[in-house]
Chain A
Amino acid sequence: DADVTQTPRNRITKTGKRIMLECSQTKGHDRMYWYRQDPGLGLRLIYYSFDVKDINKGEISDGYSVSRQAQAKFSLSLESAIPNQTALYFCATSDIRAGSTDTQYFGPGTRLTVL
């Protein structure tokens, strides 16, 4: 979905390096999410944010941190990357309104390889 963009799209880094993945959205949604996807598996939630002052841990937050700089921006950091953090990372947004189902809209993903 072009309304949700992620940078970089691909990144190769070394063990111990600090990495930041960026997510921007033009959908005007309040809620933003970071997921991780490993080959052949579903998505696992890392962190989520319901507004600029709200940060919540997801299922697999260890080794990651996030920053919600503005409504439209949500970044994910790996403080000290390790090889088992090699995965596809997705950002998503949603907008809960009365009568809606809080559907999440995903960015194109960032493929991260940690050597």
Chain B
Amino acid sequence: GESVGLHLPTLSVQEGDNSIINCAYSNSASDYFIWYKQESGKGPQFIIDIRSNMDKRQGQRVTVLLNKTVKHLSLQIAATQPGDSAVYFCAENIRDSNYQLIWGAGTKLIIKP
């Protein structure tokens, strides 16, 4: 079936370096994509979203890139900090789905001191 998945379950990054978290999707009818951050013991927190008619969107220290040709989504975190340690989920909202997000399995980001 349609799905959103992640390439890497765990990503270790040196503090201060940039982090890139990847996500692959399979549904061409997606309307927009959202990145969420989930810290230990907490609910997912919205980071940034991007509509399917865009290629790039920037937020504070984060950039999301969308490549519709290869159905790939990435989240770039600049100057990674210890507080960025979390599990990151990409989620997809399919056009005319009327209700729900399709969630990827998540990537755990580990920050090395």
Contact = CB atoms under 8 A, between A and B. Distances in A.
B106 A109 contact: no
A59 to B, nearest CB: 8
A1 B99 CA distance: 21
A104 B34 CA distance: 9
Interface residues of B, number: 20
Given A42-B104, A43-B89, A45-B100, A101 B51 contact: yes
Main secondary structure of the interface of B (DSSP, over half): strand
A41 B46 contact: no
Contact of A108 (B31, B32, B42, B101): B42
B83 interface: no
Interface of B: 31-32, 34, 41-46, 49, 51, 89, 93, 99-101, 103-106
18 contacts: A4-B43, A33-B100, A40-B105, A41-B105, A42-B104, A43-B89, A44-B103, A45-B100, A48-B99, A56-B99, A58-B100, A101-B51, A103-B49, A104-B46, A104-B101, A106-B44, A107-B43, A109-B41
B46 A103 contact: yes
Contacts of B42: 108-109
A5 to B, nearest CB: 11
A105 interface: yes
Minimum-distance CB pairs A-B, first 7: A106-B43, A42-B103, A101-B32, A43-B103, A42-B105, A101-B49, A106-B44
